Amino acid sequence: MKTGQVWTEEDNVVFKDLIQKYHKDFRQVASEMNRTYTQVRSHYYNIQCKNSIQESNKKQTFKDCQNSQQTQNGSQYIVFDGFQ
């Protein structure tokens, strides 16, 4: 069973535009998208991990990337696996 928030392709387009518009102000993006701060922040870092893994030719696992992001940000990393 899937858990977490599902992000549609349309959500991703709006998300990318808002991230650029608000310069990664996750609270503002969350407000505009009617999502929580945690959902927006997690989605952003999930995208960063997926991009990082693709660029590194999959030498890094998704879990390793999450752990790295958690360490860099000094806070708990919450995973939402509802990508479409």
C-alpha to C-alpha distance for 47 and 50, rounded to whole angstroms: 5
pLDDT of residue 54: 74
pLDDT of residue 31: 97
pLDDT in tens, 15-68: 999 999 999 899 999 999 999 999 999 999 888 888 877 777 666 666 777 666
> Domain coordinates of the chain in residue numbers?
8-83
DSSP-assigned states of every residue in 7-68: E-HHHHHHHHHHHHHTTT-HHHHHHHHT--HHHHHHHHHHHHHHHHHHHTTT-S-HHHHHHH
- Residue 70: which pLDDT band, with cuts at 50, 70 and 90? low
Residue 44's Cβ-side half-sphere holds a number of Cα atoms within 13 Å equal to: 24
